[in-house]
Amino acid sequence: MGEKSTPLLAVLQLLKKYNLKGTEEILRKEANLGDTDFDGLDLQEVEIASILSAHHTESDPFTYEHAYDTLKKFVENSMDICKYELSTLLYPVFVHMYLSLILYDHHEHASKYLEKFGAEQEEFYQDDLKQLSNVKSKEKIKGNEIAEIYSTNKFEVQLSRDASSQLKRFLQEQKSSPVIINIINNHIQIDVHDGPGRTQAQVRSTAGGLLGEASRNENRTKVYYGLLKEPFIEVLATTPPEDEEEVEETPDKPKKKKAKKDHFLMKKPKVDPNAPPTDRIPLPELKETDKMEKGKALREASKRVQLGPETLPSICFYTLLNSGHTALCADICDDSTLMAVGFSNSIVKVWTLTTVRLRGMKSVDKLQDIDREAGDVLVRMMEEKDRDTCRTLFGHSGPVYKVGFDPFKNLLLSCSEDATVRLWSLQCWTCLVVYRGHMWPVWDVKWSPHGHYFVSSGHDRTARLWATEHHQPLRIFAGHLSDVDCVQFHPNSNYVATGSSDRTVRLWDCLTGAQVRTMTGHKRTIFTLSFSVCGRWLASGGGGGEIIIWDISTGAPTAALPLFHNAPITTLAFSRDGALLSSGSLDCTIKLWDFVAISDDSANDENNSNTSPTKEEKFLLRSFATKNSPLKNLHFTRRNLLLAVGSYDGSS
């Protein structure tokens, strides 16, 4: 296809779109175009628009440089109050100018242009620009992830009223060279907000998304971030502590005695004004055994240590020896008795962390002999003799990127490079279900805190919500522009948060499947997410070691924790009482953050300015280095002991 004919073809396509048959035929005749040529062309609509509107500037690549310079000067000379907001325009304009230069085959100019202005762009865009610089001809726009995203989506820019009126005035002055006007009209979504222009820090805190900031409308929906009312569970508050070890396996413990409960336990079932209705999404009925497990959890919780800056937790570190780089992920079950590790050689290993060994179920013919009505049927169906301290699960055919125990430690989920999610039974130690649906590697899988549901995310840019008994996803959350690297269930199971390589964190409603929050501000890929215990805050850890705390109620960043980690964050965990946040990173350190201070600070902060992240060194309480062991997982036990998992990496 000759380059001259691109605009002609675009016109043809446009004519066809509006069904102007007569004109189309005439044009075909005049341009001597056959039908065959036409089929090869399927330009994006936006591209057509840009081709047509910018047609007359096509021949002059020099206008681009000039236009960009003018825009830059305008931003520099504008009032301080809107300077920083306006400066967010520069990057999208720059990118689209580059793309249109490529589109019109001015390759030399394009690379010169990139050379000249590329280095001026924000640091967090440099990776994108490097990828963009691979695009050296218009055919490659299709193959390039970034270029495709930019040409098919609009870049979000938020401007105050002042700034936008200034911009309008500027654009009117620029009538002579319509390059910028075209780009702003076609590729940039300007979101005007009332109120004063934002400061540099404010702008920076939300900048960084692949397509700019989240628009205000996106975050308008009300999110029920409160916790669900816990089902009433009879708890024996006076269970003697010695019992604990032996009751592990005996279901028929006395339940009659209804002892007085702690006031701590009584307070809990309080109605949260922000909580969703309990039946908003159907939750599974608690089974008898699950209730026991819950009761045990509550009892344990009553013995919990209150953490704070004065009382730091003890950390028990589990080192995986001889694992090298093969161990990829780890999870510890809620009651801290089991640990699962996923390996790059497709296996999953489960270790017991207590003296109770891992037992399998009896064989089928033996199971038939058991009286199903017996009270201790659950004990009887297990094999009598103790088994190993470690069991291996085989089934995946690629590296296992995440494992997760269900809240009642009967089941285990794992996701892998082979694009499947597998559900394993921890009683018969076999794979129960293979969930197929993702197209490419599955990066993350998480259980709902109430069991039954789980959510997975992967390279196919979607996150999917599943129920264990359905082999197909209940919801597909699509909208991310790049890999969805991590997911997390909200404590009330009604929402799912996802973090992605497009540097946004999004919150999805499980009921409607809609996206209810888009949170921008990360400058690198997001690798881990964690909801606070109260459900209002979301912590996200990124590839550069940055941690951002988000307020779910508004979708705004509450605090960007100071950058003390210098390698990707791999895991985040809130203490059970919500007072501390712990972060683990590939730089072989665990850091403890004072979350009470962080959230208080933001509450005070809201009075002065709406969204200013506070970078205070005082948030960091302690940092613990491990011996060359990058962190895989952090887990607070019910009594607030911190368990950490890492694999010793002797070589480096």
Partner 1 sequence: MGDQESGYGSSLTLDSMKVIAESVGIANLGEDAAKELADDVTFRLKVIVQDAMKFMNHSKRQKLSITDIDHSLKSKNIEAQYGFLQPDSLPFRFASGGGRELHFIEEKEIDLSEVLSAPPPKIPLDISLRAHWLSVDGVQPTVPENPPPLSKESQKLESVDPITKLSKPANKDAAGKPVCGKAARLKASESVHVKQLATHELSVEQQLYYKEITEACVGSDEGRRAEALQSLACDPGLHEMLPRMCTFISEGVKVNVVQNNLALLIYLMRMVKALLDNQSLYLEKYLHELIPAVSTCIVSRQLCMRPEMDNHWALRDFAARLMAQICKTFNTSTNNLQTRVTRLFSRALQCPSQTNNESGPSMVTTMKESEKTPLASLYGAVQGLAELGPEVVKVFILPRVRWLGERIEGALSGIGGADRLAAGNLKHQLLKVLAPVVRQIRQPPDQPEDYKREYGYLGPSLQQMVSKLRTSPSTPGGGGAVAVVTCTPPLVPSASLPAPAAGPIAAPQHSTLTKTVDSMGTRNVISSSNPSPTPPTPPPQKFVIVSQQKAPQAQPASGTGHIVHSSQPTIVRSQNVQSVVVTSGPAGNQQPQKVVVVGMPPQQQAPVTCGVSQAPVSVVAKPVFARASSAPQPPPELDDLSHLA
Which span (63-71, 208-216, 320-328, 366-374) binds partner 1, by CB under 8 A?
A: 320-328
Half-sphere exposure of 111 (CA within 13 A, CB side): 7
Q: Which of residues 617-636 bind partner 1 (CB under 8 A)?
A: 617, 620-628, 630, 632
Which span (85-93, 172-180, 233-241, 614-622) binds partner 1, by CB under 8 A?
A: 614-622
* Per-residue x/- track, 395-434, partner 1 (CB under 8 A): ---xx-x---------------x-----------------
Q: Does 358 bind partner 1 (CB under 8 A)?
A: no
- Between strands 484-489 and 495-500, the pairing is antiparallel
Q: Which of residues 499-538 bind partner 1 (CB under 8 A)?
A: 501, 525, 527
Q: Does 306 bind partner 1 (CB under 8 A)?
A: no
Structure tokens that stand for 6 in this block: 């691109």
CA distance 411 to 452: 10
CA distance 619 to 443: 31
Q: Does 68 bind partner 1 (CB under 8 A)?
A: no
Q: Measured on CA atoms in the order 574, 576, 578, 579, is the torsion positive or negative?
A: negative
Q: Which of residues 485-504 bind partner 1 (CB under 8 A)?
A: 485, 501
Q: How far is the CB of 101 from partner 1 (least distance, A)?
A: 13
- The total number of residues written for the chain in this structure: 652
CA distance 523 to 544: 8
Q: Does 367 bind partner 1 (CB under 8 A)?
A: no
CA distance 456 to 464: 5
Which span (12-20, 49-57, 354-362, 588-596) binds partner 1, by CB under 8 A?
A: 588-596
Give Cα separations from 192 to 82, 95, 197, 384 (angstroms): 12, 22, 10, 69
Nearer to partner 1, 75 or 642 (CB): 642
Nearer to partner 1, 290 or 417 (CB): 417
Nearer to partner 1, 162 or 587 (CB): 587
Q: Does 318 bind partner 1 (CB under 8 A)?
A: yes
Which span (292-300, 306-314, 465-473, 549-557) binds partner 1, by CB under 8 A?
A: 306-314
Q: Does 544 bind partner 1 (CB under 8 A)?
A: no
Q: Which of residues 172-201 bind partner 1 (CB under 8 A)?
A: none
Q: Which of residues 433-462 bind partner 1 (CB under 8 A)?
A: 440-441, 443, 459
* Per-residue x/- track, 123-162, partner 1 (CB under 8 A): ------xxxxxxxxx--x--xxx-----------------
Reduced to 3 states, what is the DSSP secondary structure of residue 328?
A: strand
Q: How far is the CB of 307 from partner 1 (least distance, A)?
A: 10
Which span (44-52, 153-161, 354-362, 586-594) binds partner 1, by CB under 8 A?
A: 586-594
Helix pair angle (90-103, 145-152), 10° resolution: 110
Nearer to partner 1, 131 or 200 (CB): 131
Q: What would the 3-class secondary structure string for 472-501 be?
A: CCCEEEECCCCCEEEEEECCCCCEEEEEEC
Nearest to 391, CA basis, from 344, 348, 329, 342: 348
537 CB contacts (<8 Å, ≥6 apart)? 531, 549, 550, 551, 552, 558, 595, 599
